[in-house]
């Protein structure tokens, strides 16, 4: 019986790897090849190894658990598939503009949104902790838009899910080993991804330095559900590709109709409203948008994010200040701020400092994780009417030490004035 059990286990693992082949484009010799039939890039091969290992194991165990967990895993499978498409394109093209990159990652963003929405719609599920663990950490897939340190970003997003995987372990540790193995398999995806990023994409997604990026603009012609083979087939049409273009009459040509020249402006990543108004970058009402990037910055400019939900924003360069107001489940990554970063009336906010910032203010906010850089350890953190605040300080090995910010205080009269100190139970 023991031999039969071992055989069944090996067969199940093989099935998981076969299922993952559809994620990785049918194997190393298939969809991962460079345009023109070249060899697969080493970092695509390395990613396929994660898909064929940790991801396949997670999918297999999710299928065994069944129900909502299996449905969730099917959505995650699409996210990993979309991520691979981006990696393949990165291996054969130079880095595109931020606007083009936003189009490229749409399949990944769509999968992230589906995963998070499924969790919100199934709060009564008996497997809600499983759904929450995946939903909180699925933004890890957005590492392809994070620079210069995508690895710490993945660590940050993974930590958000660990809270719920620990709950799963607590509930099933003595009941059902299947769920314990599921937690180990799922968490191993992100730990392996961190190692992968450190080896191949330390400062950001590695793009080809030799191939031009003109083909990337064609991605806008296809929906998220189309395969990359359709894209490459279109590119390979050569001169025939123009047959599918619409005729443009003289009234639509800017060189014959000067009035059209003033219409529009430079395209920036992210849906509206996402624009520069004077000296203020307005990022408002963004819903489930991953990979918002502000790169064309100046020292005099400020960023104001208002009523954004389940979105991530990266601010490059050095600016005056950043304000996060009335936002929920938002991630902020920025380089340098010379003034202040304010988080007001918000919930579940994650902030990562890549450079320097003198002051971070947290007001009327429940749930705020601040990841400091080595250059920002002297930062002053001021908080009021807030809870569940944690400051994460980097160690030499790249990991972080998490320390909670006190929420409860004791005030006494010392004979001359009131003296307030944090209570021990507040940490």
Q: Can you give the CATH number for the domain in which 285 is found?
A: 2.160.20.70
Q: Give the residue-averaged pLDDT of 28-34.
A: 40
Whether residue 417 is contained in a domain is answered as yes
Split at pLDDT 50, 70, 90, the class of 148 is: confident
Whether residue 400 is contained in a domain is answered as yes
Whether residue 322 is contained in a domain is answered as yes
Same domain, 195 and 278: no
Q: Which residues are CB-contacts of 264 (< 8 A; sequence separation ≥ 6)?
A: none
Same domain, 299 and 191: no
Same domain, 186 and 331: no
Q: Using only C-alpha atoms, what is the Rg of the chain?
A: 24
Best CA proximity match to 92, nearest among 37, 47, 25: 37
Whether residue 323 is contained in a domain is answered as yes
Best CA proximity match to 324, nearest among 354, 349, 293: 349
Same domain, 282 and 389: yes
Whether residue 253 is contained in a domain is answered as no
Same domain, 189 and 320: no
**Could you give the dihedral angle defined by the CA atoms of residues 224, 114, 171 and 182, in that order, rounded to the nearest 10 degrees?**
0
Look up the domain containing 395 and give its range.
274-426
Domain end point (choices 170, 200, 230):
200
Question: And the tokens for 143?
Answer: 């590492």
So what's the pLDDT on residue 10? 47
Domain end point (choices 185, 200, 215):
200
Split at pLDDT 50, 70, 90, the class of 11 is: very low
Number of separate domains in the chain: 2
Same domain, 376 and 283: yes
Whether residue 43 is contained in a domain is answered as yes
How does pLDDT run across 54-93, given as a tens digit for each residue? 999 999 999 999 999 999 999 999 999 999 999 999 998 9
Whether residue 349 is contained in a domain is answered as yes
Query: Distance (Å, rounded) from C-alpha 226 to C-alpha 230?
Result: 7
How does pLDDT run across 158-179, given as a tens digit for each residue? 888 888 999 999 999 889 999 9
Split at pLDDT 50, 70, 90, the class of 217 is: very low
Q: By mean pLDDT, which of 196-205, 264-273, 374-383 is the weakest?
A: 264-273
Question: And the tokens for 414?
Answer: 């010392």
Task: Write out the DSSP string of 49-60.
Answer: HHIIIIIHHHHH
Same domain, 283 and 415: yes
Query: Distance (Å, rounded) from C-alpha 160 to C-alpha 136?
Result: 6
Same domain, 196 and 278: no
Query: Distance (Å, rounded) from C-alpha 377 to C-alpha 336?
Result: 13
So what's the pLDDT on residue 250? 54
Helix (H) or strand (E) holding 402: strand 400-404
Tell me what the pLDDT averaged over the chain comes to. Answer: 80
For residue 127, is pLDDT > 50? yes
Pick the residue with more confidence: 11 or 195? 195
Domain end point (choices 200, 222, 242):
200
Same domain, 171 and 42: yes
Split at pLDDT 50, 70, 90, the class of 215 is: very low
Pick the residue with more confidence: 99 or 184? 184
So what's the pLDDT on residue 23? 53
Same domain, 404 and 282: yes
Q: Would strands 380-384 and 321-325 be described as parallel, antiparallel, or unpaired?
A: unpaired
How does pLDDT run across 288-341, given as a tens digit for each residue? 888 888 988 899 999 999 999 989 999 999 999 999 999 999 999 999 999 999
Task: Write out the DSSP string of 141-201.
Answer: GGGGG--S-HHHHHHHHHHHHHHHHHHHHHHHTTT-HHHHHHHHHHHHHHHHHHHHHHHH-
For residue 280, is pLDDT > 80? yes
Q: Give the residue-averaged pLDDT of 360-386.
A: 92
Whether residue 262 is contained in a domain is answered as no
Q: Can you give the CATH number for the domain in which 166 is found?
A: 1.25.40.330
């Amino acid at each position: 019986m023991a031999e039969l059990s071992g055989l069944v286990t090996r067969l199940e693992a093989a099935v998981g790897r076969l299922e993952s082949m559809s994620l990785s484009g049918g194997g190393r010799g298939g969809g991962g090849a460079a345009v023109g039939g070249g060899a697969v890039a080493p970092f695509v091969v390395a990613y396929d190894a994660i898909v064929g290992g940790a991801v396949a194991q997670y999918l297999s165990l999710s299928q065994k658990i069944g129900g909502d967990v299996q449905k969730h895993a099917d959505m995650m499978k699409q996210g990993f598939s979309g991520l691979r498409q981006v990696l393949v394109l990165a291996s054969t093209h130079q880095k595109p503009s931020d606007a083009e990159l936003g189009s490229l990652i749409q399949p990944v963003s769509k999968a992230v949104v589906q995963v998070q929405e499924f969790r919100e719609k199934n709060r009564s599920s008996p497997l809600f902790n499983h759904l929450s663990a995946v939903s909180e950490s699925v933004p890890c897939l957005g590492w392809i838009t994070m620079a210069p340190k995508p690895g710490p970003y993945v660590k940050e997003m993974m930590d958000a899910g660990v809270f719920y995987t620990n709950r799963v372990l607590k509930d099933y540790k003595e009941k059902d080993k299947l769920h314990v193995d599921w937690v180990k398999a799922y968490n191993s995806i992100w730990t392996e991804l961190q190692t992968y990023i450190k080896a191949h994409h330390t400062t950001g997604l590695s793009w080809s330095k030799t191939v031009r990026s003109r083909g990337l603009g064609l991605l806008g012609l296809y929906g998220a559900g189309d395969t990359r083979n359709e894209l490459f087939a279109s590119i390979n049409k050569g001169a025939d590709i123009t047959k599918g273009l619409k005729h443009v009459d003289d009234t639509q040509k800017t060189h014959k109709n000067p009035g059209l020249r003033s219409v529009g402006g430079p395209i920036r990543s992210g849906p509206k409203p996402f624009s520069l108004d004077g000296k203020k970058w307005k990022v408002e009402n963004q819903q489930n948008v991953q990979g918002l990037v502000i790169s064309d910055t100046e020292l005099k400019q400020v960023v104001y994010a208002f009523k954004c939900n389940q979105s991530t924003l990266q601010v490059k360069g050095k600016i005056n200040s950043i304000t996060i107001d009335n936002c929920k489940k938002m991630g902020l990554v920025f380089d340098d701020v010379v003034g202040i970063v304010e988080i007001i009336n918000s919930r579940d906010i994650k902030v990562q400092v890549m450079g320097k910032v003198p002051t971070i203010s947290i007001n009327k906010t429940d749930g705020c994780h601040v990841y400091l850089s080595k250059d920002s350890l002297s930062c002053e953190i001021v908080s009021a009417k807030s809870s569940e605040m944690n400051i994460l300080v980097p160690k030499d090995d790249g990991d972080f030490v998490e320390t909670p910010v006190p929420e409860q205080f004791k005030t006494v009269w010392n004979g001359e004035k009131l003296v307030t100190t944090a209570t021990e139970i507040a940490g």
